Structure 1
């Protein structure tokens, strides 16, 4: 699925949704720029383009989650997202996409078509194994279902994730909303509303400070270096008044958002406060990604 919007005066941005990663889950995969000096987005999706951000890692986070009963005794490791059984490209999967549906302005898209729309809605349903139910031969037991809904409007991608336990489980660590920063690797700024709480180089470890010190953190903003007079920007926002975004399962001494030197940033929604979930009792969170280009890299949109 290729979704195009007018990115700046010289380019359209193409967002590609497809199966990707170690578990081949359906989701955001690539971002490309295609030259277009006209004021409106072009419907020609076969013309040339250049890669802005390739498929490298997961954007909707994996889980450290275990079954409360009948586990196989394995220790805590990530499952789902881009994490298969042993972390290699050849390991058995720990998650799978059950189904996905695409709607264009409220109408289901069938077959290969080019359509003009204000809003694209993609709903993906995945099944995920636990660290103590995954198996090397690929027949691990799935213990939760995640329903991910993407709503794309121009350069904004709104995300809603509903997590439904298929049996009694415990979540030990979960990020949920995260980003791969290769195209936006100059600096990162952490915000609580309109208040900047920290700014750092994007290629080094950093965080927003502890939850106790900065309890209102709800955004981080990544920027590239200036390229041909403009800057690539990515603003990632978590709804702090909804579901897991309230951070009831995040210890006060942990940061709400952080960046690792290997080039990824994360919100930390569950850590050091276990989430015990009963079968069929769902939890959820929502947030957004905003991809935009600016002539002035100091503009916060």
Structure 2
């Protein structure tokens, strides 16, 4: 080719390119052939990648013929977009893809999950589309092993039972027999109460706690808008011929939950290295004895000299190896701390035939006391608290710790468990005189050289709860229960106060907030609002049932259950527990209390300790308050310790009667 022809060809190519790339027309003719311009190609590209609200919009934007400009996408809202091909004006779905608005919840819309197809009594039901589209997530917490749980019914506003019903029914079935018998029982009924939490838009989570299966909780997240499309018509999955009848909640939604482990100062030691402690013996450290770490919860060893170590060496645990029937004794040893690591020498302190006393505790817990020994180390007292149920797992098999080939051979009791010997004190006259019946304790002490004080503590009022009763005095120089007493304050109302407490869930309305517990019945009737669960009285640490005696200290422990102001009539139930202790010494009461919520509650007011003492109405003295001593009580004037900022250390206020007591 010549240079002129090359130039001509190049110029023609430039003209053609300009027409294809720069023309505003959709098509141009080049060498007799119609070709789409860049404008046309780009428009078709935009149409093919465009997302339209409706299928009609997508069809209108594409031409439906050839290989180009035939594809479009229709938005699926907050879930999946659908891809279509325009076949001569007909939309043909060719796939789906997640859109930008999809979330961990909405991704399940329209899918079987969290429901799952299953064989029930030999049949597999069809899917119920409205359930698959609406139900986005389910959590079954605390489901017993070997059980299916299924979503069986949703009222959706049906009036078949009267007022619009929005309850749900959940059923449980044995996995082993579901495929053969198909038997399922309701664990949530349509009238079971629920709590509902708004999540996003029309998506809500409903939470059920069943009372038929201990600890079972069901949480279901669903889109109300989907169910609302058929509002008034129940969503039914519990009819043998209906879609969804065989379907269950996918087992991956089941979350087993162990019972809550309530820890106290003893149970916190289960499975840990206390009170047993790892220690080096003769240069070696033994492995732990895991069963004893679970069983032994506390130890108190009194009278241990400085520089000594005490260890548990043997637990007979019902062995018959020694003849004469099962033996449950224990062996304890004592060693010098200075040489234990080098020589490992330990000598017997208590042997398996030594006698003991055993005091039951909570459940299967016991405390065993060894107060005397047959060994030379007399005077040491060992108290060991352990769980009998753990040792009973291998009853008849001893646990050996005095052979170096066994676990815990080197282990000792943690020195934190050792107590020095108690020093003897001179005998003295005890300060309290008492008389106890099953329901009332009367305590007398010497208030001065010439006067006695008498207090009665018993079960009083409409609730029969333990409380302060009568206060009386007597002129006498001799401690006595008899004689002539002058009553300073008769029993009138509660000293240990009531509550204004509300149940968060499942109350009966309650109306005006009223006090419950203490001395308060329902609306000034005789119907109680609390009950006493237990009550025990101790004199110098010993449990007392009835009778008279002397003591330096009396302790009363009791527990009550209290109703809420909205659970004391129609929905009568107890929502709060109080555990109380009253310690009595000559001239003083000490009160300790702990409050435990039995469900979700709101405490508006707790009136705590109150005082009804009309006999002591002459003077009052606020310790570390604004008055330097006693001042006269003025019934119509509020009297107090002073501005807290000025008198921050005010701490008590003794009263005095006309008799100055």
1:32-56 Cα deviation digits (max 9, x unpaired): 2234223xx23xx243322121101
Q: Is the 8 A contact 1:189 1:196 kept in 2?
A: no
- Corresponding residue number in structure 1 for 2:609: 177
- Of 506, 517, 521, the residue aligned with 1:84 is 521
Larger Rg: 2
RMSD across aligned C-alpha pairs, in angstroms? 2.4
C-alpha spacing 1:170/1:217, structure 2 compared with 1 (3 Å): farther
In structure 2, stretches of 5+ residues that fail to align are: 1-440
- Corresponding residue number in structure 1 for 2:551: 117
Secondary structure, counterpart of 1:178 in structure 2: coil
Indicate whether 1:97 and 2:532 are aligned: yes
Question: In proportion to residue count, which structure has more helix?
Answer: 2
Indicate whether 1:219 and 2:649 are aligned: no
- Of 487, 490, 512, the residue aligned with 1:51 is 487
Q: Is the 8 A contact 1:197 1:214 kept in 2?
A: no
- Corresponding residue number in structure 2 for 1:268: none
- Corresponding residue number in structure 1 for 2:501: 65
| Distance in 2 of aligned mates of 1:207 and 1:172 | 25
- Corresponding residue number in structure 2 for 1:196: 626
Deviation at residue 213 of structure 1 after TM alignment: 7.1
- TM-score (norm: length of structure 2): 0.31
Indicate whether 1:131 and 2:131 are aligned: no
| Distance in 2 of aligned mates of 1:81 and 1:6 | 30
Instruction: Count residues in correspondence.
Output: 217
C-alpha spacing 1:170/1:162, structure 2 compared with 1 (3 Å): same
C-alpha spacing 1:82/1:9, structure 2 compared with 1 (3 Å): same
Question: In proportion to residue count, which structure has more strand?
Answer: 1
| Distance in 1 of aligned mates of 2:566 and 2:470 | 32
In structure 1, stretches of 5+ residues that fail to align are: 233-301
C-alpha spacing 1:2/1:66, structure 2 compared with 1 (3 Å): same
**Equivalence map 1:32-51=2 (5 Å):** 32-38=472-478, 41-42=479-480, 45-51=481-487
| Distance in 1 of aligned mates of 2:568 and 2:637 | 31
| Distance in 1 of aligned mates of 2:550 and 2:652 | 30
| Distance in 2 of aligned mates of 1:66 and 1:149 | 25
- TM-score (norm: length of structure 1): 0.65
Secondary structure, counterpart of 1:60 in structure 2: coil
| Distance in 2 of aligned mates of 1:171 and 1:213 | 31
- Corresponding residue number in structure 1 for 2:232: none
| Distance in 2 of aligned mates of 1:128 and 1:202 | 35
> Higher relative contact order by CA 8 Å / sep ≥ 6: 1 or 2?
1
Q: Is the 8 A contact 2:497 2:518 kept in 1?
A: yes
C-alpha spacing 1:127/1:114, structure 2 compared with 1 (3 Å): same
Deviation at residue 210 of structure 1 after TM alignment: 6.7
C-alpha spacing 1:214/1:196, structure 2 compared with 1 (3 Å): closer
Secondary structure, counterpart of 1:100 in structure 2: strand
1:46-67 Cα deviation digits (max 9, x unpaired): 4332212110111011111111
- Corresponding residue number in structure 2 for 1:143: 575
Q: Is the 8 A contact 1:13 1:33 kept in 2?
A: yes
| Distance in 2 of aligned mates of 1:164 and 1:76 | 20
Deviation at residue 200 of structure 1 after TM alignment: 6.7
